[in-house]
Amino acid sequence: MATATSSKAASWDPAEVKAELLKQYPSKVARKRAKQIMINEALENETPEISANVRTIPGIITMRGCTYAGCKGVIMGPTRDIVNLVHGPIGCSFYAWLTRRNQTDAGPDGENYMTYCFSTDMQEQDIIFGGEKKLADAIQEAYDLFHPKSIAIFATCPVGLIGDDIHTVAANMKKKLGDCNVYAFSCEGYKGVSQSAGHHIANNQVFRHIVGENDEVKPGKFKINLLGEYNIGGDGFEIDRIFDKCGITCISTFSGNSTYDQFASAHTADLNAVMCHRSINYVADMLETKFGIPWIKVNFIGAGATAKSLRKIAEYFGDKELIDRVEEVIAEEMPEVEAAAAEVLPRTEGKTAMMFVGGSRAHHYKELFNEMGMKTISAGYEFGHRDDYEGRRVIPDIKVDADSRNIEEIEVEADPTRYQPRKSAKEIEALEKAGYSFKYYDGLMPDMDKGTMIIDDLNQYEAEKLVELMKPDIFCAGIKEKFSIQKLGIPMKQLHSYDSGGPYAGFKGAVNFYHEIDRLVNSKVWGYLQAPWQRNPQLSASYNY
Ligand code: CFM
C-alpha cells in the first residue's frame, strides 16, 4: 500500500520503510527492534502489541535520558521552594541546571531556589571513603544559608555503586534540623531503562514524605489537582489563566510552578486531572486509593482538546453554574484561535509531521497538528510503556521484567481518617453511563491513522533514515536530534524545551503554535540547505598499480 504524503515527497510503503530501517542491524538486534517498530493498524479495540520500556541495545545512540533525569529534572525540578541537592559529581548537577525551561513564578514569598545548583560535588576520595559525611555537611550548609522548608536529596550513579545510605542521612538530618522535611531519592541514573523509572521513584517519595502533610482546607468551590503539567515554556501559566477564568481552583500542580505546600495539600482536592499519564499516573492512583479522589485523563495541548478537557472537568462537578461558565470561556477564547487556524490553513494543510518525544507529547501534539490540517505520519515515545501506546486495558498483560521489578511499588491503603470518596458509586456509574471514563487513558495508537509508523525508543540512525525515506515537512524531537535533522534540510521543532518558544498549551498556546509551525514548514531556507557532501559527492579512489 503506498501512502501519499506532501507534494515534495514521493510515496512510501510502511513495510518497506520498516525493512529499510532494520536492514542495517545484525539479525539479533533487528529481531528486537522489529518489535518496537509498528505499522499502525488503526483498529479500535485491538492494536498490535508493541515492545516498550525495555533496555536500549548497547551501541545504539538512543534519544533517552537517565533515571536521575526523570526524578530530579522532571518531577522534582519544577518545584521552587524545595532545595534540590544532588549527591554526586558536579556534571550531573550542571547538566540538570535550568535546561528544561520549566518556568516558575517566585510567588509573594519570593522563596525560589530554582536558579541555584546544589551539589555535594563528589571527588575521587569520596568515592573511595564514602560520601555520607559530605552529604550531611551539605544539607546543613544549605539549611544554614536558606532555611528552606524542605530539602530533597538525589542519588547519582556513583552513590548507588559505593552504597552511601542517603535515606539514613536524610532521616538523621530531618531530626536534627527539626523544621525542615528532608528525604532522599534512590534515583541513580542506571536504576531503570530510562527516565520513566525516575518518575516512579519520585512519585513514591513525594507521596510518602509530602502529600497529606497539610490538612488545612483551602478556599474554592471546584477544587482539582493538575497532574503531569510541568510549565515548560509557560504552558502551566496559560492553563492557570483558563482555570481562573472558569472558576476552577487548582490546589496543586505536579509539578509545574509548584510549591512544597501544594504537594502537601493535594489530598484536599476533589478531582485529579491527569495530563501526562506516563510521568504521574502513580500519584493519581495513590491519591485515589488513600484519599478517595478519582482521576480523569485530560489534555490541554490543542484548542479543541482544551475545550474538551474543560467540559469534562465541569461535567464531573455537575454544577450548572460551572458548566455555563466553561461554555462562556470557550466561546470567548475560540474566535481568536479559529481566526489563526483559518489564516495558516491554506499553507499548512496536507503537510506532514513526525514526533518523537518522551512519554506523552507525541500523542498530545497530534491534536495541534490536526487543527492545522497536518498529518502525523510517524510518532513514538522515548520511554512510554505499552499502556501509553495501546491504552490502559493492556496493563494486566504487561510482563514485569527484572528492570521494572527493580523499581519499588509502594503499598497504599485507605487513610483511616481522611479517606472520603468524592463521588458515590452511584454517581460514578451515572457519569460512566453518560460516556465518562475514570482512571483511563486510550494511548497513542488508536489515534494514529492506519499505515502510519509507530516507533518506540527511536535512535539517531533510524531518525535520519526515516527522514530520508518519508520526507516529512517537520520533525519534532529534542536538542540531540535538532541539528542532525536540520542538516538533512528538514525543519526540526523541539517539543521538549520548545526551542525558545511557548506556551503552546490552552487557547493562546494554540495560536502561538500555529504561527510558529506555519513559519517553519513554509520557510524557503530549508531548500537552500545542502551539506557539503550533498553538493560534492564523496570522493572515491582506486589503487593505481
Ligand atoms: Fe510527561 Fe513531560 Fe513527556 Fe515526561 Fe520528559 Fe518533558 Fe517529554 Mo522532555 S513529563 S513524559 S520525562 S510530558 S521532559 S515535560 S518533554 S521527555 S514527552
Q: Report the nearest-CA residue for atom 10 of ligand 1.
A: 359
**By the 8 A CB rule, do 386 and 53 touch?**
yes
Q: Mean pLDDT throughout 382-407?
A: 96
Q: Which residue has the higher pLDDT, 422 or 534?
A: 422
The answer for residues whose C-beta is within 8 angstroms of residue 201's C-beta and 6 or more apart is 67, 70, 71, 185, 186, 187, 191, 407, 408
According to DSSP, the residues that pair with 229 across neighbouring strands are: 255
Indicate the average pLDDT of the chain: 95
Q: Report the nearest-CA residue for atom 7 of ligand 1.
A: 358
C-alpha cell belonging to residue 131: 560520601
For residue 540, what pLDDT is reported?
72
Distance 132 CA to ligand 1 centre (A): 32
**By the 8 A CB rule, do 75 and 185 touch?**
no
pLDDT tens figures, 335-350: 999 999 999 999 999 9
pLDDT tens figures, 108-164: 999 999 999 999 999 999 999 999 999 999 999 999 999 999 999 999 999 999 999
Map grid coordinates 534515583 to a residue.
187
Q: What angle do CA 536, 539, 543 make, to 5 degrees?
A: 165
The answer for residues whose C-beta is within 8 angstroms of residue 530's C-beta and 6 or more apart is 489
Sign, Cα dihedral of 482, 486, 490, 493: positive
Distance 438 CA to ligand 1 centre (A): 23
Which residues form the pocket of ligand 1, taking CB atoms under 6 Å from any ligand atom?
70, 74, 100, 195, 228, 230, 232, 276, 278-279, 357-361, 496
Which atom of ligand 1 lies at the shortest distance from residue 276's CA?
Answer: 1
Distance 388 CA to ligand 1 centre (A): 13
Q: Which residue has the higher pLDDT, 437 or 536?
A: 437
Q: What angle do CA 105, 145, 115 make, to 5 degrees?
A: 30
For the sheet containing 492-494, what is the strand order?
A: 37-39, 453-455, 375-381, 352-357, 474-477, 492-494
List strand residue ranges (DSSP E) for 300-452, in order. Answer: 352-357, 375-381
Active site residues: 66, 69, 100, 199
Q: Mean pLDDT throughout 266-271?
A: 98
Distance 277 CA to ligand 1 centre (A): 10
For residue 508, give Cα distances in angstroms to 249, 314, 392, 492.
20, 21, 31, 22
If one counts every other C-beta atom within 10 angstroms of the C-beta of residue 142, the result is: 20
For residue 544, what pLDDT is reported?
79
pLDDT tens figures, 57-102: 999 999 999 999 999 999 999 999 999 999 999 999 999 999 999 9
Q: Which residue has the higher pLDDT, 527 or 316?
A: 316
> What is the helix (H) or strand (E) element at residue 169, kind and residue range?
helix 166-177
Q: Report the nearest-CA residue for atom 6 of ligand 1.
A: 496
If one residue of 496, 497, 499, 504 were mutated to test the ligand 1 pocket, choosing by the most ligand atoms within 8 A of its CB, it would be 496
Distance 397 CA to ligand 1 centre (A): 25
Residue 541: band (very low, low, confident or very high) from pLDDT cuts 50, 70, 90: confident
Which atom of ligand 1 lies at the shortest distance from residue 69's CA?
Answer: 11
pLDDT at residue 5 is higher than 60:
no
The per-residue b/e assignment along 392-413, b for 16 or more CB within 10 angstroms, e otherwise, is bebeeeeeeeeebeebeeeebe
For residue 2, what pLDDT is reported?
40
- Distance in angstroms (rounded) separating the CA atoms of residues 67 and 276: 17
Strand pairing report for 222-229 and 248-255: parallel
Which atom of ligand 1 lies at the shortest distance from residue 75's CA?
Answer: 9
Q: Report the nearest-CA residue for atom 9 of ligand 1.
A: 279
Q: What share of the chain is helix, strand, coil (3-state, %, to 5)?
A: 45, 15, 40
Q: Mean pLDDT throughout 165-173?
A: 98
Strand pairing report for 37-39 and 453-455: antiparallel
For residue 100, what pLDDT is reported?
94
Q: Report the nearest-CA residue for atom 15 of ligand 1.
A: 496
pLDDT at residue 44 is higher than 80:
no
